[in-house]
Amino acid sequence: MYAVENSSITSPRLTLKPVSRADIPAIVSAANDLEVARWMSRLPHPYTADDAEVFVAKNEGNAGRVWGIHDADGFVGVVGIVHEFGYWLARRAWGKGYATEAGKAVLGAYFANPSAVPLQSNHFTENGRSARVLNKLGFGYTGKSDETTCRATGVAHTRRMMTLVPEQWHALNPLIIETLRLTLRPVIQADAEVLSAIAGVQEVAPMLMSIRAPWAIEDARRWIEQSRWRGRPGFRLAITLKDGTVIGTVGIGPAARGISTMYFIGTAHWGQGYATEAMQAFLGAVFKRFAPECVIADHFDDNPASGRVLRKLGFEKTGEDVAGSAARLEPAPVSLYRVNRSQFEAQL
């Protein structure tokens, strides 16, 4: 399992950081509790300082894979993704939601990588608390189980196997971007009717590649399905007002084609700076999350307003071409643009 970029992660109540020798007394105190050890396969009992020394030494090279969990009062447990997702908590931390909070923080960092692969986990059949935590985090049962013996108690247990795939994680944890006046969130099928209405008009559709005028609702549904949020490039977000009104979309193309961006705003909301506001926030999130070398864009030459938006965001014109639109009878001239991260950030 690859390491996540952040060896230290913070959440509202917790700090997750690499385990160290300074944690040994607290690790021994927590892990030597039989009520903790009885729910794990390999933890010995009694648990000694020598055991903690071995654990810390073994995980010195696992920064970004194993974290000590700390609350305001100090060490409370461990969470990791070395071979699978797992965690344990000191008894004083039970019942506070720490396992879910720490797990969500680690899984968020892990699945932020577009190349993340599914994670496995498991729990003893009798351990309902862990079952609830794993379910809250999005893990589902595989239908498989195995038999194991708890080292601390010598009791045989059945372990139920679970898995969490990237698409499930991202469905439960969608990308949401807030600005002063707008919310950007993944497009959903319920948006089809309004998007077909605001994009499938002669003022908007000819400025886009794949949208017709008029634009059938069923075509909008397919367009939405093709650009669902999956945690990797190749998605669109709906641009909404704070009251939930959908006024347009922003998006980026699949990485295999280069990171290209597009947007549109419905005519009823032109001239109010919404495109610039949405794109500024969106591109900031794209550069932070996916770290592309650059983002490319274009606009039809009979749409100079889009060029003004792009230039405000730091884009520089790189050339000219011709391109087609499903709402045009023939190809038309386009201007090509490019922005790298430093150019974009210089405009902020």
Identify the residue with better confidence: 249 or 258.
Answer: 249
- What does the mean pLDDT of the chain come to? 96
What are 278's two structure tokens? 């949405």
- Residue 315's pLDDT is what? 97
- Residue 256's pLDDT is what? 65
Between helices 49-58 and 24-31, what is the axis angle to 10°? 120
Residue at 81: amino acid letter: I
Q: What would the pLDDT profile of 125-164 be if each residue is shown by its tens digit?
A: 999 999 999 999 999 999 999 999 999 999 999 999 999 9
* Residue 347: CB atoms within 10 Å: 14
Q: What would the pLDDT profile of 181-208 be if each residue is shown by its tens digit?
A: 999 999 999 999 999 999 999 999 999 9
Report all structural domains of the chain as residue ranges with CATH numbers, in order of start: 9-171 (3.40.630.30), 174-346 (3.40.630.30)
Q: What would the pLDDT profile of 1-45 be if each residue is shown by its tens digit?
A: 667 877 899 999 999 999 999 999 999 999 999 999 999 999 999
Q: Which alpha helices (DSSP H) does the chain contain, by range?
A: 24-31, 34-37, 49-58, 98-111, 128-137, 166-172, 192-199, 217-226, 274-290, 304-312, 341-346
Q: Structure pTM?
A: 0.85
- Residue 2's pLDDT is what? 65
